[in-house]
């Protein structure tokens, strides 16, 4: 079933956010730091393995050759520029203010900050793009299921410190990933092996970079460190 990966991802975020709110008194900062670093290191190796599998090829004589370097450089440079031009941070803040009012959370000073920080962390990234395309073209949910597990942990920890605004980050995830999956279905005829390989290459590089940031940051600093990184590279 195409789209199942996004459904699983959105449910994982809701469950993680609710559990984070319920059990926040038990999630001390040192536990949060240990969990996120363990998760980050796992994803570092996933990203590195995926990148090497796309950038290196074995010749018939047994020697290695590399490819895709120009695509990688251009994609990252243009993606950084586009991220700055779109200014998604401001867009999410406006939507967060609207949600805050509609959910009767006007007295919650952390609502918008929690919503924006969690949304930018879980809805915009390489795994979301690559996973949605795989889901739409092949019906392969594996990347989005892996992302759902990561998002569950991340939102659980963020909700324990920033409140219920984090729970509503499932909305942009469902909308953006659902739209990309639908678009992939429509454009499946144009998605050649070369296009998918290039997407996968750049996507795995971003996964590696994102995980490296996770490993070096404390959970309490996410709201200041995650936004610019995700906006620039996605």
**pLDDT classification of 228: cutoffs 50, 70, 90:** very low
**pLDDT classification of 204: cutoffs 50, 70, 90:** confident
> Of the spans 82-96, 163-177, 214-228, which averages the highest pLDDT?
163-177
Are 166 and 159 in contact by the 8 Å Cβ rule? The answer is yes
Question: Is the overall model pTM greater than 0.85, yes or no?
Answer: no
What is the pLDDT, as a whole number, of residue 217? 54
Nearest residue to 183 via CA among 173, 171, 175: 175
What is the pLDDT, as a whole number, of residue 124? 67
**pLDDT classification of 224: cutoffs 50, 70, 90:** very low
What is the pLDDT, as a whole number, of residue 87? 78
pLDDT tens-digit map of 2-56: 889 999 999 999 999 999 998 877 777 777 677 767 766 777 787 788 788 878 7
Are 231 and 84 in contact by the 8 Å Cβ rule? The answer is yes
Q: What is the mean pLDDT of residues 206-221?
A: 62
pLDDT tens-digit map of 71-104: 888 888 887 788 788 876 788 888 999 999 998 8
Average pLDDT, rounded, for the chain: 80
What is the pLDDT, as a whole number, of residue 211? 66
pLDDT tens-digit map of 63-72: 777 777 888 8
What is the pLDDT, as a whole number, of residue 210? 66
């Amino acid at each position: 079933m195409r789209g199942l990966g996004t459904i699983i991802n959105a449910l994982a975020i809701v469950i993680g956010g609710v559990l984070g709110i319920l059990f926040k008194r038990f999630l001390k900062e040192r536990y949060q730091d240990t969990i996120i670093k363990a998760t980050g290191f796992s994803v570092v190796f996933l990203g590195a393995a995926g990148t090497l599998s796309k950038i290196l090829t074995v010749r018939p004589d047994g020697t290695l050759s590399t490819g895709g370097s120009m695509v990688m450089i251009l994609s990252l440079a243009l993606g950084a520029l586009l991220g700055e031009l779109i200014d998604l941070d401001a867009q999410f803040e406006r939507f967060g203010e609207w949600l805050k009012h509609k959910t009767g959370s006007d007295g919650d000073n952390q609502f918008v900050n929690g919503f924006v920080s969690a949304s930018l962390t879980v809805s915009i990234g390489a795994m979301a793009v690559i996973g949605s395309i795989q889901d739409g073209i092949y019906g392969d949910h594996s990347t989005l299921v892996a992302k759902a597990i990561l998002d569950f942990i991340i939102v659980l920890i963020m909700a324990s410190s920033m409140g219920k605004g984090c729970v509503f980050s499932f909305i942009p995830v469902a909308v953006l990933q659902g739209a990309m999956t639908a678009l992939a279905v429509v454009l499946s005829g144009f998605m050649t092996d070369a296009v998918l390989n290039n997407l996968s290459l750049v996507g795995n590089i971003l996964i590696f970079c994102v995980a490296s940031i996770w490993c070096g940051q404390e959970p309490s600093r996410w709201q200041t460190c995650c936004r610019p990184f995700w906006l620039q590279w996605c």
